[in-house]
């Protein structure tokens, strides 16, 4: 049976418009975050490009962080992925 979100969006489509990169997080946590996001329909990229929408970042002022800031990308923490996953919906990327 498919998981369904509060807004009748299938769980597997919650993040269907999210293309993310992970920076500063090591395995096994990195793998777990990637799996959660992919389960919600996000797409993963190893490096930031123009198709990316979100950087899941552990530290500020890293080269990837600064690159994403310059490109006006969305920078989120690992907690954002965990919260979206546990609440089964796409949460605002800013608080």
Which is more confident, 93 or 45?
A: 45
Strand partners, 54: 20, 74
What does DSSP assign to residue 12?
G
The model's confidence at residue 1, banded by pLDDT at 50, 70 and 90, is very low
Count Cα atoms within 13 angstroms, Cβ side, for 7.
9
By three-state DSSP, how is residue 67 classified? helix
> Structural domain boundaries of the chain?
11-87
Tens-place pLDDT, residues 25-84: 999 999 999 999 999 999 999 999 999 999 999 999 888 899 999 999 999 999 999 999
In the predicted model, is pLDDT for residue 7 greater than 80?
no
CA 48 – CA 67 distance, rounded (Å): 8
Q: For domain 11-87, give the CATH number.
A: 3.40.50.10190
């Amino acid at each position: 049976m498919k998981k369904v979100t509060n807004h009748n969006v299938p769980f597997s489509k919650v993040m269907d418009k999210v293309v993310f990169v992970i920076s500063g997080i090591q395995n096994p946590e990195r793998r777990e975050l990637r799996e959660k996001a992919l389960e919600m329909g996000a797409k993963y990229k190893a490096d930031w490009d123009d198709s990316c929408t979100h950087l899941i970042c552990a530290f500020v002022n890293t080269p990837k962080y600064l690159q994403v800031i310059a490109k006006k990308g969305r920078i989120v923490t690992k907690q954002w992925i965990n919260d979206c996953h546990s609440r089964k919906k796409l949460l605002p990327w800013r608080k």
